[in-house]
Amino acid sequence: MSDLLSLVHAHYDALKHGDLDAATAPFADDVETITPGGALKGIAAFRALGGGFVAAVPDMHHDIVRTFEDGDTIVVEGVYSGTQTGPLAGPQGTLPASGNAFAFPYVDFLEVKDGKCVSHRIYWDNVTFLSQIDAIPTQ
């Protein structure tokens, strides 16, 4: 297993176990994170994002479908799944627990310098996710 893939596994495994210290350890203090909800700057903002999902989805799971590596960058295609049993806090407010299971595909781009992730871009379909947890109506 490559160093980059080991970093990804360490991050995902720590999230799965609710260990935010271990989940954020592979990331630089000034990590830049881009999500469907906007840009985040720094480890505190990244930790808050992770903490929101850990609280809302304690049974979360990342299934890695495939990875691609080029130099200091790894791209992960996966499926994120779980059950939203807790409130999900975000920049626009808090979504109450729905009790609903969900699963949706995502892509993570992580750029690493000197053993720490400095840039993290996460792409997922928020409409699919929010409709699965009844936060938006489905047609």
| pLDDT (tens digit per residue) in 63-119 | 999 999 999 999 999 999 999 999 998 777 899 999 999 999 999 999 999 999 999
What is 3-129's CATH number?
3.10.450.50
Domain residue limits, the chain? 3-129
- Which token pair is 119? 């840039």
pLDDT at 129: 95
Residue 99 phi/psi, 5° resolution?
Answer: 80, 5
Residue 125 phi/psi, 5° resolution?
Answer: -85, 100
Instruction: Please tell me the distance from the alpha carbon of residue 12 to that of residue 9, in angstroms, as a whole number.
Output: 5
For the segment 46-61, the average pLDDT, to the nearest whole number, is 96
pTM exceeding the 0.85 threshold for the entire prediction: yes
- Please report which confidence band the pLDDT of residue 139 belongs to, taking 50, 70 and 90 as the band edges: low
Q: Is the dihedral of CA 52, 19, 31, 81 positive or negative?
A: negative
In the chain, how many H helices and how many E strands?
A: 4, 8
